[in-house]
Amino acid sequence: MTSFSLELGGVNIHRGNSRLISNINFQLNPGERVALLGSNGAGKSTFLEALVGLHPMSGGVYKAFGRTLKEERDFRQIWSKIGLVFQDSDDQLFCPSVIEDVAFGPINLGHCPKDARMIALATLEKLGLDGLSERITHKLSGGEKRLVSIATVLAMNPEIILLDEPTTGLDENVRQRLIDCLAKLPQALLFTSHDQYLIDHLATRAVLIKNRTLVNSILHKHPHIHVHSHKHVHPEDEPTHPHASSFDHVELYHRGDAHQS
Ligand X SMILES: Nc1ncnc2c1ncn2[C@@H]1O[C@H](COP(=O)(O)OP(=O)(O)OP(=O)(O)O)[C@@H](O)[C@H]1O
8-state DSSP, 71: S
Q: Which is nearer to Mg ion, 47 or 65 (CB)?
A: 47
> Residue 44 CB, nearest distance to ligand X (Å)?
4
Interface pick for Mg ion out of 5, 87, 92, 133 (rule CB under 5 A): 87
Query: Should residue 15 be labelled a site residue for ligand X when binding is judged by CB under 6 A?
Result: yes
Query: Should residue 33 be labelled a site residue for ligand X when binding is judged by CB under 6 A?
Result: no
On whether the CB atoms of residues 37 and 31 are closer than 8 A, the answer is no
Residue 218's alpha-carbon distances to 5, 29, 86, 146, 260, in angstroms, are 21, 17, 26, 28, 6
Site string for ligand X, 50-89 (x = CB under 6 A): -------------------------------------x--
Query: Should residue 14 be labelled a site residue for ligand X when binding is judged by CB under 6 A?
Result: no
Query: Should residue 12 be labelled a site residue for Mg ion when binding is judged by CB under 5 A?
Result: no
DSSP letters along 17-39, please?
TEEEEEEEEEEE-TT-EEEEE--
Question: What does the alpha-carbon distance between residue 197 and residue 148 come to, in Å, rounded to a whole number?
Answer: 21
Query: Should residue 92 be labelled a site residue for Mg ion when binding is judged by CB under 5 A?
Result: no
Q: Which is nearer to ligand X, 38 or 106 (CB)?
A: 38
Residue 98's alpha-carbon distances to 117, 123, 136, 179, 187, in angstroms, are 11, 12, 6, 21, 24
Query: Should residue 145 be labelled a site residue for ligand X when binding is judged by CB under 6 A?
Result: no
Footprint on this chain of ligand X (rule: CB under 6 A): 15-16, 20, 38, 40-46, 87
Footprint on this chain of Mg ion (rule: CB under 5 A): 44-45, 87
